[in-house]
Structure 1
Amino acid sequence: MFSSKRLNAVDLGGEDRLQIFLRTVRENKELWGLYADGWAETIDDDRKKGFVVFPDQEHAQLCATDKWKRYSPKSIKLSSFVERFLDKLTKQKYTVAVFPTPFDRAVQVDPQTIRSELL
């Protein structure tokens, strides 16, 4: 069952969702992605790829529809994300696509900026 407090976040703007993401991930020491034979990605208007992440399982599940309907929420330990994912994303010139909703795009953030915000 989805909690109404958490679901209200889908109505917030990108910057507010980014702050919720950062706070939640720092507190819980984990973040969530969508996975099905690989991690969910997005492409922004500049054709830059983004690695899609969420603050919790509930919000990830909300986006497991349409183009990501084959995907399921999968947790990522914060330590693993910082130590393994972020350098790889930087080398591949990806952004971190933070907290998209069914109604709004993700906030595209540079991997090294996310690293400094999460540590």
Structure 2
Amino acid sequence: MTSKEFEAVIKLPANIRYEYFIKKVTDSEAIWGLYDDGWAMSSDDKERLLVSFWPRKEFAEYCAYEEWSNYKAHCISLDDFISDWLPNMVEDQHKLLIFWNRDDSAVLEIQVLLNDLVKELKKY
């Protein structure tokens, strides 16, 4: 990824970054998170945990700053994410923080992401 492409994508509105996320993770079959003795999370106004994910390592690393400065980007296979991660997050009542760019992100229910991933995977 060129720095020009990175800068262009990171500045997109959250809904467009979400669409980019869906296409990139289904194409690469990989999702990126930040990890340091636990996965990078925040919480919403109802105190529900939001788990953060990105479509590429570069974007995750860009967000490893401030309270997440010690976190490192880790790859999760798309198969594991769909079969293990998402069901466990549903059980734990977490929500998803998709493609945060240090400013905003898409925050959504797990079933919405799962439906969008399955729909995109059918194109392959």
TM-score by length of 2: 0.89
| Structure 1 partner of 2:5 | 5
SS in 2 for 1:5: helix
Aligned partner of 1:13: which letter? Answer: P
Conserved? CA contact 1:2–1:58, under 8 Å: no
Q: Does 1:117 align with 2:116?
A: yes
State how many pairs are aligned: 118
Within 5 Å, give how 1:12-27 maps onto structure 2. 12-27=12-27
Q: Does 1:33 align with 2:33?
A: yes
Conserved? CA contact 1:55–1:99, under 8 Å: yes
| Structure 2 partner of 1:79 | 79
Q: Distance in 2 between matches of 1:14 and 1:7?
A: 14
Percent identity, aligned pairs only?
A: 26
Q: Deviations over 1:21-67 (max 9, x none)?
A: 00100110001000011110011233221110000000000000001
Q: Does 1:107 align with 2:106?
A: yes
| Structure 2 partner of 1:46 | 46
* Structure 1 runs not aligned, ≥5 long: none
Aligned partner of 1:110: which letter? Answer: E
Q: Which has the larger radius of gyration?
A: 2
* Structure 2 runs not aligned, ≥5 long: 119-124
